[in-house]
Chains A and B, each alone.
Chain A
Amino acid sequence: MKKPNKKSKISNIKNINWENNKNIRLILIFVLILSMGVLFGAIGYNLYKWNEYSKYQSRIIAIHYVNTSVQITSFGIGMNGDTDSLKFGKISLGGGGERGLNINSTKKALVKVTISGDMAQFMSVDKNDFIIEPNTADKITFHIDIPENAETGNYTGLIQVLFLKP
């Protein structure tokens, strides 16, 4: 039997009756349903997330952002008590330190703390996701530990303190 060449394959495709072919019709319907399914799925997921986001936003009492910084050196320490941001000053390799934020709220609130930036890798917080009672003061202590193998230089970070309706 003679093997069909490329030219004859193309002419075979051209000869298909697109308008009345039931298989093609089924494939098209299937792809159409699939596309609509993907679209409705995405819209549904977005609505679900939007609802979650709106609920979360409505719980926010206050958000505070505090900058933080440290200079890592090879020797000695340098204390910085400035209150315009949470400065740790100078800390030598292998050293560490701590500094606090004083907080209070007029309403009962769930306090969530997050640390971002290149300092986050060295920092931890003594408590998180805790309740503060109305008109009371509390303190959040941030710890910093510098490993022996850290790169010396200046590091910065951003602390977010979020007060939510419990």
Chain B
Amino acid sequence: MEISNKTLAWLVVAAIVVSVFGTTMSLWNLNNKESFAGYVTLTNSTAGATVGISQSVILRFAINATNFGSGSVNSGAGYWGCNMGINASSTTIYQNGCTGFNPSGNALVIENVGTSYMNVTLNITGNATTFLGNSPSDAIGSGAFMYEVSDNESGSCVGTKYNTSWTIVQNGTATAISPILICSNLSYAVSSNSLAIGLNITLTNNATPGAKFVVFTAQGTNI
């Protein structure tokens, strides 16, 4: 039996409709399956494996949070060193031996914004030699890099607070200084949950010129 052109035309129309519908449904179906991370549905299926969240968090300060600007030791006026910084009360320290620097801003602030008490350690990536470039033979008290810890809000550290007066960042190699415990129990109460870290540096006139860079990292662990 020979099919007429008219019948053929109807067949073509039907084929196009079926083809367009089928292709659209097919692509829509695939798109739905591939929408999240490669074929995986959003149903939690936890049998056979567990995932737990660690109770500690490590955070790094922005380095320019305390910016001392640029300058030098005022050797021309007979000074051997320049002492400057921002103490834990956010008061600027700026001695006569400095020229050009502009220490400003606030002490570094560490808060406990969780719902558990935490102990807090501090990790500093350099000491006076590796951070400032003071001569390694400089005696402590000449070239120095120090920090102090204080409650930023009264009653924040309800455990033992360490290094509450200027403490020299330990002399060592260029590798990271070991974590230093600064508060054994930092409260999470909204009005008393933060520590302040003051910084104090003494540059000597033999310090190597150039940009100086050190990283402060705080680690808090639930207790």
Contacts and interface: CB of A to CB of B under 8 A. Distances in A.
Interface residues of A, number: 74
A90 B113 CA distance: 8
Given A28-B8, A46-B26, A56-B38, A103 B50 contact: yes
A79 B111 CA distance: 6
A23 B22 CA distance: 29
Contact of B27 (A36, A42, A62, A66): A42
Interface string B200-213: 00000000000000
Interface in A142-166: 146, 148, 160-163
Nearest to B16: A35
Interface in B150-199: 194
A31 to B, nearest CB: 5
Interface in A67-93: 71, 75-93
B108 interface: yes
Contacts of B1: none
Interface stretch (B51-59, B78-86, B92-100): B51-59
A130 to B, nearest CB: 14
B163 to A, nearest CB: 18
Nearest to B221: A81
B16 to A, nearest CB: 5
A32 to B, nearest CB: 5
Interface in B44-78: 44-65
Given A56-B39, A87-B114, A99 B58 contact: yes
Interface in B17-53: 18-19, 22-23, 26-27, 29-30, 33, 36-40, 42-53
Given A77-B110, A116-B37, A139 B218 contact: no
Contacts of B128: none
Contacts of B129: none
A88 B38 CA distance: 27
B64 to A, nearest CB: 6
A53 interface: yes
Interface of A: 18-21, 24-25, 28-29, 31-32, 35-36, 38-39, 42-43, 45-46, 49, 52-53, 56-57, 60-66, 71, 75-107, 109, 114, 116, 139, 146, 148, 160-163
Q: Which 8 pairs, one residue from A and one from B, show the smallest C-beta to C-beta distance?
A: A94-B62, A79-B220, A78-B113, A78-B111, A35-B15, A76-B109, A62-B49, A80-B114
